[in-house]
Amino acid sequence: MIAKSSKQNNGYTAKDIYVLEGLEPVRKRPGMYIGSTGVDGLHHLVWEVFDNGRDEAMAGFADEVEVALLPDNRVRVADNGRGIPVEIHKQTKKSALETVMCTLHAGGKFGGESYKIAGGLHGVGVSVVNALSVWMRVEVHRDNGEYAQEYKRGKAISKVKKINSSKLNGTIVTFEPDPEIFSEIKFDWNKILSHLRQQAYLTKGLKIRVIDARDHKGKIDDSKILFLNLLKLPVDSHTFYFEGGLLSLIKFLNKKEKPVHGNIFYIEKEISDAIPSIEIALQYIEDITIKEISFANNIHTPEGGMHLTGFRTALTRALNDYAKKNNLIKADEDNFTGDDVREGLTAVISIKLRNPQFEGQTKAKLGNPEARSAVESIFLESFSSFLEENPNDARAIISKVSLALKARKAAKAAKESVLRKGILEGLTLPGKLADCQTRDPAEAELFIVEGDSAGGSSKQGRDRRTQAILPLRGKILNVERARIDKMLASKEIKSLVIALGAAIADEFDIEKLRYHKIIIATDADVDGAHIRTLLLTLFYRYYMPVIEQGYLYVALPPLFRIQKGKEILYAYDEAEKNKIVGKTEGYNIQRYKGLGEMNPGQLWETTMDPERRILKQVAIEDAEEADKTFDTLMGKEVEPRRLFIQTHAKAVQNLDV
């Protein structure tokens, strides 16, 4: 990992560490610095420490970073960069290392020439990790020595000491998240792999090694073993290294897709001292999904920002200009819109800036206006040239975009037809809907049930004043990859849209929603799990505000009716049934195959009675991660979906989205 180095320290000394203010507020309000104290915030600690090593690579002083998960919830991140300075800092009168680790807004990224490009420009990253760790140790190799210091909850518990001589250069940070801050400390191996693989694509020539050694408690001596890759232990490890940059990333993202055109567009260009680099790659695929991923200084910006805005503006203009110049669309036809040109697009936009302006410490959005104009001009020129130089690719792209334009017009007509029908019919709602009497959405409930049999029982067993029933026949259309015009041609989906009364997609108005409790009540079998997933996909794609407002629920009907004499009990899984019946003598056990097997009274007392029923509220805490899950379950690949349903059908009552 940390190798012998002939690199000089290039003037990176204690004077390059700038101090702005103190540290203690981090423990009081951790969410301000890491977003949350849940699973995302926990992993944000890893990203912050990794970013320091990655920034050394971006500055040209490192070419390897290693991230290792250790026993006892510890994480070790090592790089072969210059090593954090350890001499006395003129302003704080303490070691520069202790200043960096224990002071908020202290780092080498506020001034000078130590870092022209960096992600952690707020100077709070590693000190925040220290503040939120019950224990941390930093080892620094530089200036022919190995130095170390330990910390507890953000405070140094030892002085910086030279513990050995060393010919190496680099920094090793080992930390243990504080259970007082994080209710659950469980690192997601796949999440870490995905993030670090992405970082390797974004940093050409950087080798990133990821190691999972959590199962080797007692076999790793932190005080003696320096590099885990030298351990002779059967650890799970991955090494990422890509010379192709974003070109390689586009190939990875589209490896299971059918491309519209053969040549992948790619541009990497140095702009100025303020914007050292813009890198963009894109390819269209035979699909309607959109994958746009943007980065600023290798920091993922999930909410986009100025760089993404500039890219979108240039993309729309370039394709409209090319199509008209080459008579691929008629002069009197509508121009392509931004939505038209993005359908089926896979694009990655990466910009490197001297002084990025992020919105919030979690850096979700880039705010630099100069990023928009730079990306727009560079991409417009280079993509226009790509289209001229690759006419076959250009015509294939224009054909794809033209289909999207036609589909947009058809979708608009379909939406208007459904909306007009809903308005004209007034209270004449879909015939299969048994509506409730109340007109107050706050107390109105809509049960979406599976089939006519369950529909009949639930209609008879419900509270007519507050509970409406909408039975759906069979499995609704998979909306994951269907355009809205095809979707609204589905009788079942159209009935649901009209019943909800609030339009759909960009026309959706939550103020007009007729029910503030929408309950998906399907059978607890494989088909029921599939139907439930299809409905959840529909709500996720087209009714996101319903989920965000907490209006969507999943009903959890029992699997067993257990009777002994006059006593009747219900069990929701095998374990609960076994706990009730013991050795089973004298019990009459009925297993329900579906809601339709329950009579109205049973359905009321188990699934519909607000006093006794069990509902799971559908919530989305990480929209991006949920999007990936839905794409896996409802996408083209059949095998992942089949495995999911087989695995989770029996445990579907624990469903949480």
Sign of torsion, CA 452 457 459 460?
positive
pLDDT of residue 20: 46
Q: How far is CA 132 from CA 75, 126, 179, 202, in A?
A: 13, 10, 9, 28
Indicate if 202 and 254 belong to the same structural domain: no
As a whole number, the mean pLDDT across the chain is: 84
Residue 274: what are its φ and ψ, rounded to 5°?
-75, -35
Indicate if 344 and 435 belong to the same structural domain: no
Domain at 144, CATH number: 3.30.565.10
- Mean pLDDT over 642-647 rounds to 56
Q: What is the pLDDT of residues 438-470, one digit of tens each?
A: 999 999 999 999 888 888 989 999 999 999 999
- Asked about 273 being catalytic, the answer comes back as no
Indicate if 173 and 67 belong to the same structural domain: yes
Q: Which among 48, 257, 480, 523 is annotated as catalytic?
A: 523
pLDDT band at 642 (very low <50, low <70, confident <90, very high): low
pLDDT band at 630 (very low <50, low <70, confident <90, very high): low
pLDDT of residue 596: 81
- Mean pLDDT over 334-344 rounds to 93
pLDDT of residue 123: 39
Q: What is the pTM of this model?
A: 0.67
Cβ atoms of 56 and 82 within 8 Å: the answer is yes
In a domain, 638, yes or no: yes
Domain at 648, CATH number: 3.40.50.670
**Greatest extent of the chain over all pairs of C-alpha atoms, in Å:** 86
In a domain, 579, yes or no: no
Q: 567 pLDDT exceeds 60?
A: yes
Q: What is the pLDDT of residues 200-243, one digit of tens each?
A: 999 888 999 999 988 877 766 554 444 544 445 567 889 999 98
The two three-digit tokens of residue 579, written as one number: 């706990």
Question: Which of residues 4 and 510 earns the better pLDDT score?
Answer: 510
Cβ atoms of 415 and 504 within 8 Å: the answer is yes
Of 206, 240, 274, the residue that ends a domain is: 240
Indicate if 395 and 512 belong to the same structural domain: no
Indicate if 527 and 607 belong to the same structural domain: yes
* Number of domains the chain is built from: 3
Instruction: Give 525's DSSP letter.
Output: S
Question: Tokens 């109340």 — which residue?
Answer: 438
Indicate if 231 and 267 belong to the same structural domain: no
Question: Which of residues 177 and 593 earns the better pLDDT score?
Answer: 177
Q: 518 pLDDT exceeds 80?
A: yes
Cβ atoms of 19 and 103 within 8 Å: the answer is yes
Q: What is the pLDDT of residues 69-100, one digit of tens each?
A: 999 999 999 999 999 999 998 888 899 999 99
Indicate if 321 and 384 belong to the same structural domain: yes
Instruction: Give 444's DSSP letter.
Output: -
Question: Which of residues 7 and 561 earns the better pLDDT score?
Answer: 561
Q: What is the pLDDT of residues 272-322, one digit of tens each?
A: 888 989 999 999 999 888 999 999 988 889 889 999 999 999 999 999 999
pLDDT band at 491 (very low <50, low <70, confident <90, very high): confident
Residue 17 corresponds to which amino acid?
Answer: I
- Mean pLDDT over 582-592 rounds to 85
Indicate if 323 and 400 belong to the same structural domain: yes
pLDDT band at 552 (very low <50, low <70, confident <90, very high): very high
Q: How far is CA 215 from CA 71, 175, 191, 192, 233, in A?
A: 6, 17, 18, 17, 10
Of 240, 267, 295, the residue that ends a domain is: 240
Instruction: Round to whole Å and give the CA distance between 642 and 530.
Output: 10
Indicate if 343 and 438 belong to the same structural domain: no
What is the domain extent for residue 81? Answer: 14-240
Cβ atoms of 278 and 351 within 8 Å: the answer is yes
pLDDT of residue 2: 61
- Asked about 450 being catalytic, the answer comes back as yes
Helix axes 189-202, 39-58, angle to 10 degrees: 30
Indicate if 626 and 643 belong to the same structural domain: yes
The residues with which 259 forms a beta bridge, in sequence order, are 285
pLDDT of residue 352: 92
In a domain, 577, yes or no: no
Question: Which of residues 233 and 68 earns the better pLDDT score?
Answer: 68
What letters, b where the CB count within 10 A reaches 16 and e where it falls short, cover 626-649?
beebbbebbbeeeeebeebbeeee
In a domain, 4, yes or no: no
Of 360, 379, 407, the residue that ends a domain is: 407
In a domain, 583, yes or no: no
The two three-digit tokens of residue 268, written as one number: 């990497």
Indicate if 500 and 467 belong to the same structural domain: yes
- Asked about 523 being catalytic, the answer comes back as yes
pLDDT of residue 651: 44
pLDDT of residue 540: 85
Among 464, 461, 486, which Cα is nearest to 599's?
461
pLDDT of residue 289: 86
In a domain, 582, yes or no: no
The DSSP annotation for 317-385 comes to: HHHHHHHHHTTSS-TTSPPPPHHHHHTTEEEEEEEE-SS--BSTTTT-SB--HHHHHHHHHHHHHHHHH
Question: Tokens 């390797």 — which residue?
Answer: 200
Q: Classify 76 as helix, strand or coil.
A: strand
Q: What is the pLDDT of residues 521-550, one digit of tens each?
A: 988 777 787 788 888 888 888 898 999 899
Among 500, 501, 494, 434, which Cα is nearest to 467's?
434
Other CB atoms within a 10 A radius of the CB of residue 158 amount to 12
Q: 159 pLDDT exceeds 60?
A: yes
The two three-digit tokens of residue 504, written as one number: 């759909």
130 Cβ contact partners less than 8 Å away, ≥ 6 residues apart: 101, 102, 136, 151, 154, 175
Q: Which among 222, 527, 622, 627 is annotated as catalytic?
A: 527
Q: Report percent pLDDT > 90 for the chain.
A: 48
Domain at 333, CATH number: 3.30.230.10
pLDDT band at 48 (very low <50, low <70, confident <90, very high): very high
Question: Which of residues 640 and 280 earns the better pLDDT score?
Answer: 280
In a domain, 570, yes or no: no
Sign of torsion, CA 614 617 618 619?
negative
pLDDT band at 423 (very low <50, low <70, confident <90, very high): very low
In a domain, 632, yes or no: yes
Indicate if 301 and 340 belong to the same structural domain: yes
Lowest mean pLDDT among 15-19, 234-238, 490-494: 15-19
Lowest mean pLDDT among 40-54, 182-196, 525-539: 525-539
Lowest mean pLDDT among 219-223, 435-439, 506-510, 587-591: 219-223
- Asked about 334 being catalytic, the answer comes back as no
pLDDT band at 151 (very low <50, low <70, confident <90, very high): very high
Q: Which among 450, 480, 485, 492 is annotated as catalytic?
A: 450
Question: Which of residues 513 and 650 earns the better pLDDT score?
Answer: 513
pLDDT of residue 225: 40
